[in-house]
Amino acid sequence: MLTFLCAFPALACNVPVFRYALERWQAEPYEAVVFHRGPLSPADRAAVVALEKARDDAHANLNVTLADVDFPLGRLPAKLWKSRTNAPLPHLVVSYQGGATEGLVAWAGPLGESTARTLAESPVRRALAKELLAGKSAVWLLLESGNASADAAAAALIEKELRVQEKELELPPAAPDDPKMRAKLPLRIAFSVLRLPRTDPAEAPFITQLLAGESQTNQPPVPVAFPVFGRGRALAALSGGDLSADVIESASRFLTGACSCEVKELNPGKDLLLAADWDSIFEEALPPEERTPLANPAIPPGLGPETNTVIGASTAGANSAAAANQNFLRLALTSLVALGLFCGAVALWRKS
């Protein structure tokens, strides 16, 4: 299927995917809805203020909405509240609104100031954003399983393969009609790895968000790798047999290759909730018309709908679990259908 779609002609630019995404792909916002009844207490109001500060001061990709359940609710709050009518109030629900995963609940629980402060910020996310803002091609985020030997083996595999790719890959040659790159960051191929302990309390909201929508089993958890690029976009969740040298190479080539003619929303992956001033890479503010995504790369082999990702299953039991990452799969299937229609139209137009 992927070979068939990629056989169609593409209108490409030679700006590497990771740099194009960093400069031009705006991170999709998460929706934080605070369900309450009547006036908020001072403590609850402080929690809401913390959420708003994360959005306004720390540049988190987060929208904040108050929803009094004694009054008619809007479309999204009504949808989220439907399955939570017995939740103690005030109750916070955070959902992802990007692409085919619209409405996916990333985190839900009691409203509290401590939770509000860590919802979009944590030590690992600050380190992640710092690496991306420094111009890294991608940061491989490794969610550890808690099994020391399995985690060490996964980290060693990723590190080894990324060092190979840094030496072997080459950036696409610049073309005269490429979109102008405005950031003064050095353009180079460089990867890094961040390890995320699954039991770290400071990262609990982030880990919940990462695993939102992922299939869960009763098997022991396994290491899961998320290649993150651009403005905090996770390309896929890779575990078990999918966390291999071949897939790491495929992802690396994809991220450092030339972008093509698809729009961002047609690509599998999801934006992470984190606080970062992405526009700080520019010496001057990017004009609004240049913030709209103009191109998006094709789905790399091994990272599309043929990749089944099992999260929470042991490596040995991954095949028996046979559970796929449903959100990435749905988004990838949508991508393929839309891409097929688009590329078919381009092919017909070029023949006419």
Distance (Å) of CA 289 to CA 177, 214, 247, 262, 285: 17, 35, 35, 18, 11
Name the phi and psi angles at 304, rounded to 5.
Answer: -100, -155
Pick the closest to residue 111 from 19, 6, 17, 34 (CA basis).
Answer: 34
Measured distance CA(255)–CA(267) in Å, rounded = 12
- Boundary (domain end) residue, out of 118, 137, 157: 118
Residues 101 and 138 both lie in one domain? no
Measured distance CA(212)–CA(98) in Å, rounded = 13
Residues 216 and 334 both lie in one domain? yes
Task: Mark the ranges of the chain whose per-residue pLDDT is less than 70.
Answer: 1-12, 98-101, 215-218, 260-268, 284-352
Task: Quick: pLDDT tens for 278-301.
Answer: 999 997 665 655 554 433 444 444
Residues 160 and 266 both lie in one domain? yes
Residues 143 and 17 both lie in one domain? yes
Measured distance CA(239)–CA(308) in Å, rounded = 9
Residues 294 and 309 both lie in one domain? yes
pLDDT at 260: 62
Measured distance CA(38)–CA(27) in Å, rounded = 33
Pick the closest to residue 63 from 72, 54, 75, 71 (CA basis).
Answer: 54
- Boundary (domain end) residue, out of 73, 96, 118: 118
Residues 258 and 192 both lie in one domain? yes
Residues 213 and 296 both lie in one domain? yes
What angle do the packed helices 245-256 and 17-24 form, to 10 degrees? 60
Do residues 35 and 91 make contact, with C-beta atoms less than 8 angstroms apart?
Answer: yes
Residues 19 and 71 both lie in one domain? no
What angle do the packed helices 148-168 and 245-256 form, to 10 degrees? 40
Residues 79 and 144 both lie in one domain? no
Range of the domain at 72: 30-118
Angle at 145 between CA 135 and CA 97, to 5 degrees: 55
Residues 237 and 332 both lie in one domain? yes
Do residues 41 and 10 make contact, with C-beta atoms less than 8 angstroms apart?
Answer: no
pLDDT at 285: 60
Residues 89 and 154 both lie in one domain? no
- Boundary (domain end) residue, out of 118, 139, 172: 118
The token duo for 328 is 């990435």
Measured distance CA(67)–CA(73) in Å, rounded = 7
CATH number at residue 52: 3.40.30.10
What's CA 69's distance to the chain center, in Å?
Answer: 31
Residues 81 and 188 both lie in one domain? no
